[in-house]
Structure 1
Amino acid sequence: MSALPPVPQPIGIFDQFIARQPETLVLKEKVLSLSGDSFSIKLTNGSPLFQVEGKVMSISGRKTVRAMDGTHLFDICKEHFHLHTTYAVLDPNDNKIMEVKSTLAFFGSKAHGTFTSKNGKQEKLTMTGNFFDTYADITDESQGGLIVARIDRKLLSGKDIFFGQQTYALMVAPGVDMALMAALCICMDEKNNDK
């Protein structure tokens, strides 16, 4: 896959995680994690970027996302009592900073992530994937449907089959918040696990 071009206007909330160049993140669930679904998120060169910890006894499937220095960035949890599957991304004070809501799609899957960028602009990103949720493009409609990130679930390996482990490659365009794109990828994985 070729690298994604830079976006004309930066997209995101966490300035320290805005991609400065094309980046590919690897999201990999831990095998036999005792804390529920947990991911380590690294760059392709192996440098760790985020740690995602699942909560064992959480009805909402709450996941805590931390920077590698331990800073609590946000939590992701499923909201109940919605017609379509909906996830909330909450800051450490439980204020909603992004909502990810799936919508009906005749072929494949579709979800919208809405949030307010640091510059105060309302953002709406659309995540469109194939039927088996092995591939998805994240586009910014306000910038002409520009692809800002791409998710690709690697083909199943032996560990994937025996342990239910998933591995995703997440390509992020320069100028886009890697933490928020990782949140969208985690929401896609959670929805996929609910099926």
Structure 2
Amino acid sequence: MAQLAPLAQPIGVFDDYFARQTEVIVLREKVMSLTGDSFEIKMQNGTPLFRVEGKVLSISGRKTLTDMSGKKLFDIVKEHLHIHTTFAVEDASGRKVMTVKSGFALLGSKATATFTTPRTGQQEVLKMKGNWFDSAADIVDERIGAVVGRIDRKLLSGRDLLFGQQTYALTVAPNVDMALMVALCICMDEKNNEGGGGLLG
């Protein structure tokens, strides 16, 4: 596992989920999900971290993320009437805490996430660029030029691809909000699988 440099100041929204060291999170579709919209999120060592459930009949394609005690952290909702695909991340009270917009890239994928870290009041802009389907995508904090996360499918072994499951490894730098990074990963997967068949259907 490649180590990512720790950030001098924490960035993120959900205080309980800041990475204390470089962490690898595995997002895996549930094998028998009828909708393709439910999956579990674990640490690389197998420790459960989050659950994601999709609302089957939701026009907005709403996805809800909870911790393992069932506490709701946020919803991901697709916003309409935008030129580029746009998602809002709303906390349990319905307040928008992050916006994720997709963009056009000649090679690979591109997305921009914006949010404000409550601890510091600092607005952050994260840019994700890379080849989503084949190898890896880096998530870079534009303000400080640091890689805060990396999405990589090659970290995973062949057994992770059994049953046709979609599986991603998300590496998160120390002092970065793991929950918010998971939200960004889900939004990017949702965008790249529009029209069917991916991790989020």
TM-score using structure 1 length? 0.91
Residue 4 of structure 2 corresponds to which residue in structure 1? 4
C-alpha distance in structure 2 between counterparts of 1:166 and 1:139, whole Å: 24
CA RMSD for the aligned pairs?
1.6
Tell me the amino acid that sits aligned with residue 91 of structure 1.
D
C-alpha distance in structure 2 between counterparts of 1:134 and 1:82, whole Å: 29
Runs of 4+ in structure 1 off by over 3 angstroms are 131-134
Residue 163 of structure 2 corresponds to which residue in structure 1? 159
1:133/1:190 Cα in 2 relative to 1: closer, same or farther (>3 Å)? farther
Greater alpha carbon shift after TM alignment, 27-36 vs 116-125: 27-36
C-alpha distance in structure 1 between counterparts of 2:117 and 2:134, whole Å: 27
Tell me the amino acid that sits aligned with residue 190 of structure 1.
E
C-alpha distance in structure 2 between counterparts of 1:108 and 1:51, whole Å: 28
C-alpha distance in structure 1 between counterparts of 2:181 and 2:54, whole Å: 18
Residue 126 of structure 1 corresponds to which residue in structure 2? 127
**Aligned runs of 1:87-102 on 2, under 5 Å?**
87-102=87-102
Residue 47 of structure 2 corresponds to which residue in structure 1? 47
User: Which deviations, in whole Å up to 9, do the C-alpha atoms of 1:52-105 show, x marking residues without a partner?
Assistant: 111111121111000111111000011111100111101122221100001121
3-state DSSP class of the match of 1:194?
coil
Residue 32 of structure 2 corresponds to which residue in structure 1? 32
C-alpha distance in structure 2 between counterparts of 1:47 and 1:55, whole Å: 25
Indicate conservation of the 8 Å contact 1:23/1:174, yes or no: yes
C-alpha distance in structure 2 between counterparts of 1:131 and 1:65, whole Å: 22
**Aligned runs of 1:139-154 on 2, under 5 Å?**
139-143=140-144, 145-154=145-154
3-state DSSP class of the match of 1:187?
helix
Deviation at 1:36, TM superposition (A): 4.3
Deviation at 1:34, TM superposition (A): 3.1
3-state DSSP class of the match of 1:20?
coil
Tell me the amino acid that sits aligned with residue 168 of structure 2.
Y
C-alpha distance in structure 2 between counterparts of 1:42 and 1:68, whole Å: 10
Percent pairwise identity: 63
3-state DSSP class of the match of 1:183?
helix
C-alpha distance in structure 1 between counterparts of 2:48 and 2:13, whole Å: 20
Unaligned 5+ runs, structure 2: 196-201
Residue 137 of structure 1 corresponds to which residue in structure 2? 138
C-alpha distance in structure 2 between counterparts of 1:106 and 1:15, whole Å: 36
Indicate conservation of the 8 Å contact 2:41/2:50, yes or no: yes
Residue 199 of structure 2 corresponds to which residue in structure 1? none
Deviation at 1:44, TM superposition (A): 0.9
C-alpha distance in structure 1 between counterparts of 2:132 and 2:75, whole Å: 27
Residue 20 of structure 2 corresponds to which residue in structure 1? 20
TM-score using structure 2 length? 0.89
Unaligned 5+ runs, structure 1: none
Number of equivalences: 190
Residue 171 of structure 1 corresponds to which residue in structure 2? 171
Indicate conservation of the 8 Å contact 1:74/1:92, yes or no: yes
